[in-house]
Amino acid sequence: MKSKEQLKSTLRRINNSGYRAYKDLRGVYHLWQFTLYFDTIQGDPFATASRLRIRLPQDVAGFPEETYKNKNREVALRDFITRAFYRSCSRHSRQRGSGKSGLIMIARPGQEVLERSSVLINSEFLEVRFQLGLPANGRRINASVAEEMLFKDLPSIVKESLLYKNLNRDALYRHIETAEDADHIRENLKALGLVAFVADGSLLPRASGVDPRPLSSGIPFKSPPSLAVEITTPNSGKIRGMGIPEGVTLIVGGGFHGKSTLLDAIKLGIYNHIPGDGRELVVSRKDTVMIRAEDGRRVEKVDISPFINNLPFGKSTVSFCTENASGSTSQAANIIEALEAGAGLLLIDEDTSATNFMIRDHRMQELISKDQEPITPFIDKVRQLYTDLGVSSIIVIGGSGDYFDVADHVICMKQYQAEDCTGRAREIAQKYIKERKTEGGSSFGRIKKRIPLKESFDPSRGRREVKVSPKGLYSIQFGRELIELGAVEQLVSEAQTNAIGDAIVYAMRYMDGKRTLEEVVSLVVSEIQRKGLDLLSAFPRGDYALFRSFELAAAINRLRTVRVAQKDAQ
């Protein structure tokens, strides 16, 4: 380990040299009360910023063991420290020269509490991973600014954000305990026969379509008495709210009354949320998957026959392929792929669905006979999903009362308040005799597993054997191919997208021509949960966040070169 003086000496020696001379900084240094690691050093002021780590012994950091005594608390604490470090960087970091010169950055956190690689903590040390733009004038090293960043700014950031004694302890414990309570509720949903829970007092509306913070003038949520449940939490005692039971649940109501807002909150209930978000105790099962139509996506050998069959000219749908799926075929494929990956709750909003996939009314059945219509609408399969496969559904529907016939529960949203309209919906269903005929047979059908073929994955580009990088939240450059993830609505952080891109490369080691896609992604996610996100990279990275097997499978399914074999064909 090198000393502070050696670091200063190196900086002064390379001052005003060509930028690549910064490579001389590689090594480990002892500064103030922490250790500084230079893991990667950028070759140009306009390139990806250098990756550094700070490590403090716990006798300096001072975090009590109770703040990370279990996995739930540890994840929340790491998230809290990331946010504190991010805020401190924002105060001290500024552009000082060309390109990224002078910037000190850490993965930007959002409203969700995620398991991140940006912070590690245990009884021995606290480690923070971040990026630093080594300063330059043009492409010449500016050592005086580098000294200011390393010997003034960094120690200030450390003191402000990484020492327990200097943090807001009430806010820290509130952050940890809120996440722990949400985790506790989520872990107990199945035992309670619920798929989701919305606590009374939750604030569901967001500030805007591009601002995920709560709407300050929003109306607090209150459960209908008939759906109200109480759950005892470790830190907040009994919490009352709306429990959504297993089965088929409809969310109905007039336009702009909060139907989609409620569904969006449930969609993101797979994550914990920061205190003040308004959705801290809106919780859904971990196997919840949002489904939508996705015109133009590629589909590779998916058995969509439960929904689409009897195509013209005898084209089979038990191993359906297309380079440009329609709305209905893409939605069918998205459902089957989610089921293949193990989904237990499907969320569907009619606003983002293909109309002909959701419903075919009596008059259309009279005009176009079933032998001329390949599509079996979702209304005729949603009950079978539950009775045959145990998969529940929550559906936002405003345009078809025919769904009353297949629903277990109907929640009506009126001015952002929920009412239980199940009884009234059943009365209406009985009053008006069902005219449409049920289509699609008496059972849902089999879910055929698929085996990804390793040779169809090529992450190389040019001279690089692996060239994988995110392009924003919803796309990944994988070699020469761009994976589009705009329809994968439960991604919330670019750090997840970073990790998914590298996880696809990692997953290739498990593709042996025998393992199914579900088995491959489950092995990857399980190994990450045991060993940490670091296994995805050759060097420590702070810009990863944990994802689920569903998002990894969705990314693989959207790689346009991917080829699979159906397991039944083996």
- Give DSSP secondary structure letters for 134-199: --EETTEE-HHHHHHIIIIIHHHHHHHHS-GGGS-HHHHHHHHHHHHHHHHHHHHTTTTTEEEEEE
CA distance 546 to 534: 11
Residue 258 is given by DSSP the state: S
Let me know if residue 175 belongs to a domain.
no
pLDDT by residue (tens digit) across 164-180?
999 999 999 999 999 99
Q: Say how many C-beta atoms besides its own lie within 10 A of residue 191's C-beta.
A: 7
Pairing label, strands 320-322, 228-233: unpaired
Could you give the angle at the alpha carbon of 206 between the alpha carbons of 205 and 208, nearest 5°? 130
Same domain, 264 and 295: yes
pLDDT band at residue 434 under the 50/70/90 scheme: confident
Q: Cα-flanking dihedrals φ and ψ of residue 335, to 5°?
A: -70, -50
Does a structural domain hold residue 112? yes
And the tokens for 235? 């830190």
Quick: pLDDT tens for 35-59: 999 999 999 999 999 999 999 999 9
Q: What is the mean pLDDT of the chain?
A: 95
- Assigned domain for 91 exists: yes
- Alpha-carbon torsion 546, 550, 552, 555, what sign? negative
Find the radius of gyration of the CA atoms of the chain. Answer: 26
Contact residues for 25 (Cβ-Cβ < 8 A; gap 6+): 7, 10, 11, 38, 41, 134
pLDDT at residue 569 tops 60 = no
Tokens at 149, concatenated: 């960043």
* 470 shares its domain with 420: no
Judged against a pLDDT cut of 90, whether residue 128 lies above it is answered with: yes
Is a pLDDT exceeding 90 seen at residue 294?
yes
Model confidence band, residue 310 (pLDDT cutoffs 50, 70, 90) = confident
Confidence band of 433 (pLDDT split at 50, 70, 90): confident
* Token pair 């449409």 in the structure block, residue: 436
Region 129-155: mean pLDDT is 96
Q: What does the pLDDT read at residue 570?
A: 38
d(CA 220, CA 204): 8
Residue 487 pLDDT more than 70?
Answer: yes
DSSP character for 215?
P
Task: Give a yes or no: residue 172 inside a domain.
Answer: no
Can you list the alpha helix ranges (DSSP code H) found in 410-493? 422-431
Same-domain check for residues 467 and 443 = no
Using an 8 Å Cβ cutoff, are 163 and 61 in contact?
A: yes
Distances from the Cα of 43 to the Cα of 64, 399, 420, 422, 529, angstroms: 40, 57, 61, 64, 33
Q: Do residues 437 and 471 both lie within one domain?
A: no
For 246-287, write each residue's pLDDT tens digit.
Answer: 999 999 999 989 999 999 999 999 999 999 999 999 999 999
Mark whether 440 and 475 lie in a shared domain: no
CB atoms within 10 A of CB 353: 21
| Mean pLDDT computed over 2-17 | 95
- Give first-to-last CA distance, the chain, whole Å: 56
The verdict on 312 and 345 lying in the same domain is yes
Specify the amino acid at residue 168: N
Rounded Cα–Cα distance for residues 358 and 379 (Å): 6
Cβ proximity of 234 and 455 under 8 Å = no
pTM: 0.95
Task: Give the span between the Cα atoms of 242 and 223, in whole angstroms.
Answer: 5
For residue 486, CA distances in Å to 302, 404, 478 come to 20, 31, 16
**Of 258, 264, 255, 260, which is closest to residue 284 (Cα–Cα)?**
264
Report the pLDDT averaged over residues 175-194.
98
Does 311 fall in a domain? yes
| Contact call for residues 340 and 518 (beta carbons, < 8 A) | yes
Decide which of 400, 433, 448 is a domain's last residue: 448
270, exposed or middle or buried, with CB in 10 Å at 0-12, 13-18, 19+? buried
Same domain, 132 and 225: no
Grouping H, G, I as helix, E, B as strand and the rest as coil, residue 312 is: helix
Are both 221 and 162 inside the same structural domain? no
Residue 118 shares a structural domain with residue 260: no
Residue after which a domain boundary falls, among 167, 197, 215:
167
What gap in Å lies between CA 489 and CA 260, rounded to an integer? Answer: 13
Q: Are residues 233 and 382 in the same domain?
A: yes
Question: Which residues, in sequence order, are CB contacts of 100 under 8 Å at separation 6+?
Answer: 42, 45, 46, 47, 49, 133
Residue 298's CATH number: 3.40.50
What's the structural domain count of the chain? 3
What share of the chain in percent tops pLDDT 70? 99
Question: Could you tell me the residue range of the domain that residue 120 belongs to?
Answer: 2-167
Single-letter amino acid, residue 392: S
Per residue in 494-531, pLDDT (tens digit) is 999 999 999 999 999 999 999 999 999 999 999 999 99
Token pair of 84, please? 């504190």
Assigned token pair, 38: 């230079």
Binned at pLDDT 50, 70 and 90, residue 568 comes out as low
In a domain? residue 327: yes
173 domain residue, yes or no: no
Q: For 63-153, where are the alpha helices, taking DSSP H only?
A: 71-92, 143-148
Q: Are residues 443 and 454 in the same domain?
A: no
Q: Both 198 and 55 in a single domain?
A: no
Give the model's pLDDT for residue 514: 96
Q: Is residue 174 part of a domain?
A: no
State how far the Cα of 553 lies from the Cα of 559, in Å rounded to an integer: 10
**The pLDDT value given to residue 312:** 80
Segment 330-384, tens digit of pLDDT: 999 999 999 999 999 999 999 999 999 999 998 898 999 888 899 999 999 999 9
